[in-house]
Amino acid sequence: MSLNQNLEKLSNACGVSGREEEVRNLMMQLMKPYADEIIVDKLENVIAIKKGKKNTPKVMLAAHMDEVGLMVKTLTKEGFLQFAKMGGIDDRILPAQKVSVLTKKGPLNGIIGSKPPHIQKEEERKKVLPYDELFIDIGAENREDANIMGVKIGDPVAFDVKYRKINKDTVIGKAFDDRAGCAAMIETLKQLGETDCTICAVGTVQEEVGLRGAATAAFGVDPDVAIALDVTVAGDVPGVREFDTSVKMGKGPTLTVSDSGLITHPKVFRWLLETAEETKIPFQLETGLMGSTDAARISLTRQGVPSGTVSIGTRYIHSPVSMLSLKDVENSAKLTTAAIQKIKKYF
Ligand SMILES: [Zn+2]
């Protein structure tokens, strides 16, 4: 299957943090043709292992399967659902979003509602409605009806957005953070072919709520070196200063020099940078961004793991719908593949 098809499937699947099952099943299916073995660890990270020769480095690739979303917190007696946030979501972009409430009985359609603006006071209209003043309307008559429809406290809620290609290589969809990284990781496995070193490609859980899955996965895998494949903020839109981020959509994968949780190991940085230069893959550099990736947690495992990040510059991440260039996903996979092929020189 093509990268575009894989990303479409991955983006349309739902995996709010801690409820990654649908994405995990898909990852297992998509990684299977390229792996010698696939295991699911106790925290439910999925690990595809491609066995290499003895006395060669073990490389861990990590892409998180979870996405930011919501969770049902209370059912009002009128049948509205109030919610908690899972991961960093901006309250400003929540009102009027279409959502899927993922109940045991199946998904339910809903809309995030708020007090209608017509009856808001002047000063109310100017302020951002905090998420605890919003609710999900599933068209239930009352609490009992919502219960009959299958809603339970703790049910995950995902944004209801379908993947679409909108221009040449440009696509929009839900959860590109980090299904784009998942797609790049699968593509890397596909392109690698025979390698000397052992590759453990990990779809991690619960990244958006504190890099949790990466912690146990890295301990179990015990890698010699690690690369997180993730997305980063593309700042090539009106109102963003070059100083805040210089990353642009479509201009190649981004190598993180440092972020709030990781200073890329100098050897890893040189490895990735020289690979990009030698193979003439376009790339961008980024430093000083708030936020972090699985690489931060992996790097602190056991006695330490040299780690780095290859990121895809994506517009509007952590919102219901984001935008990226498939070229960047493809080049992220190309860069990761080429780096693994040149690993002997560095590790
Ligand atoms: Zn991410």
Q: Measure 291 CA to ligand 1 centroid, in angstroms.
A: 9
> Could you tell me what percent of the chain has a pLDDT over 90?
88
pLDDT of residue 297: 97
- Kindly give, in sequence order, each residue whose CB lies less than 8 Å from that of residue 223, ignoring residues fewer than 6 positions away: 58, 59, 60, 200, 298, 305
CB 172 within 8 A of CB 323: yes
Whether the predicted pLDDT of 245 surpasses 90: no
Q: Measure 265 CA to ligand 1 centroid, in angstroms.
A: 20
Q: Measure 137 CA to ligand 1 centroid, in angstroms.
A: 29
Whether the predicted pLDDT of 184 surpasses 90: yes
The Cα–Cα gap between 96 and 85 comes to: 16
Whether the predicted pLDDT of 191 surpasses 90: yes
The Cα–Cα gap between 148 and 140 comes to: 9
Q: Measure 300 CA to ligand 1 centroid, in angstroms.
A: 18
Average pLDDT over residues 102-109: 96
Alpha helix (H) residue ranges in the chain:
3-12, 21-31, 122-126, 143-149, 176-192, 212-221, 266-279, 294-299, 326-341
Whether the predicted pLDDT of 41 surpasses 80: yes
CA angle 137, 156, 90 (to 5 degrees): 75
Q: pLDDT tens digit string along 265-292?
A: 999 999 999 999 999 999 999 998 888 9
The Cα–Cα gap between 264 and 105 comes to: 45
List the shell of residues around ion ligand 1, using CB closer than 5 Å.
177-178, 230
pLDDT of residue 262: 95
Q: Measure 163 CA to ligand 1 centroid, in angstroms.
A: 18
Top-confidence residue, 120 or 25: 25
Average pLDDT over residues 33-50: 97
Residue 47: closest CA among 24, 17, 66, 67 = 24
Q: Measure 230 CA to ligand 1 centroid, in angstroms.
A: 5
Average pLDDT over residues 160-173: 97
Classify burial at 341, counting beta carbons within 10 Å of its beta carbon; exposed 0-12, middle 13-18, buried 19 or more. middle
Whether the predicted pLDDT of 208 surpasses 70: yes
Query: Whole-number mean pLDDT of the chain?
Result: 95
Give the pair of three-digit tokens for residue 186: 């699968």
Residue type, 69: G
Question: Of residues 20, 44, 207, 286, which has the active-site annotation?
Answer: 207
Return the minimum-mean-pLDDT range out of 45-59, 114-128, 141-155, 214-228: 114-128
Q: In sequence order, what are the beta bridge partners of 61?
A: 201, 227
Catalytic residue list contains 330: no
pLDDT tier for residue 117 given thresholds of 50, 70 and 90: low
List Cα–Cα distances, 233 to 30, 65, 306, in angstroms: 27, 18, 24
